Amino acid sequence: MALTLVVGNKNYSSWSMRPWVLMTQAGIAFTEQRVRFDSFEPDSAFKHALQPISPVGKVPVLVDDQLQPSQAIWDTLAICEYLAETYPHLHLWPQDRAARAHARSLCAEMHAGFGHLRSLCPMNIEAHLPEVGVRLLREHPALSQDLQRITDMWQGLLQSHGGPLLFGTFSIADAYFAPVCMRIRTYALPVPADVQAYIARVVALPGVAAWMQQALAEHDFRAFEEPYRHA
């Protein structure tokens, strides 16, 4: 089996970060194919590059050479589920059935929710925008609600499972929320000490640290991904 993971710019692509961190942290071998963001318009180089492998023209995409070309996996949660089924010995989901169902519920919530956090605070690992974070929280009460939900969720999990990560040991859930950690850091969003400590542990994970290092090395600033500053 040979796996290829197609990703976007590491500084900005939160959805690409999730399976990349998961695979790297879990020791799953893969080849990375990076498709540079230029724009997301139908005639962009980005869309043209993805057209042969993804019907939706988005990253990430997982290509397994044992599957047909038309069977590329283009949704982040679907990629994680495929990896969990392909490598059951790695226990990418929690082993306990109830905890596994809980972890899936939280990842699905992240997948479909937290719209204000995602739209108002786009991932930008290189940036440090605390003044923007203060303004956004003042102007958008719904952002505070998203942040409170994240705080309550993480605190409850850390207390019930004893840490150091959300379900005790590293799982898909930690990879799924790694981009949220990046957002909280970039915009200096206020969270309690135990949540800050969890974020520090996530940042220190080798898979996350590697992604961040490569993001900082890109120096490929995209104006349409920079709503709060000039590159």
> Mean pLDDT for the chain?
96
pLDDT band at 230 (very low <50, low <70, confident <90, very high): low
On whether both 214 and 105 belong to a single domain, the answer is yes
Q: Helices 172-186 & 14-26, crossing angle to 10 degrees?
A: 130
Residue 31 inside a domain? The answer is yes
Residue 224 inside a domain? The answer is no
On whether both 156 and 133 belong to a single domain, the answer is yes
Residue-range definition of the domain harbouring residue 209: 97-218
Q: Which of 91, 119, 154 is the last residue of a domain?
A: 91
Q: Which of 91, 117, 146 is the last residue of a domain?
A: 91
In this prediction, residue 1 carries a pLDDT of: 81
231 has a pLDDT exceeding 70: no
Q: What angle do CA 82, 85, 89 make, to 5 degrees?
A: 130
94 or 231, which is more confident: 94
In this prediction, residue 229 carries a pLDDT of: 79
In this prediction, residue 69 carries a pLDDT of: 80
The CATH number of the domain holding residue 199 is 1.20.1050.10
Q: What is the pLDDT of residues 157-170, one digit of tens each?
A: 999 999 999 999 99
Q: What mean pLDDT comes out for the span 126-141?
A: 97
Q: Which of 91, 112, 137 is the last residue of a domain?
A: 91
Q: What mean pLDDT comes out for the span 93-119?
A: 97
pLDDT band at 182 (very low <50, low <70, confident <90, very high): very high
174 has a pLDDT exceeding 80: yes
On whether both 213 and 103 belong to a single domain, the answer is yes
pTM exceeds 0.85:
yes
On whether both 136 and 203 belong to a single domain, the answer is yes
Domain count, the chain: 2
On whether both 113 and 186 belong to a single domain, the answer is yes
On whether both 104 and 28 belong to a single domain, the answer is no
Residues 6 or more apart whose CB falls under 8 angstroms from that of 119 comprise none
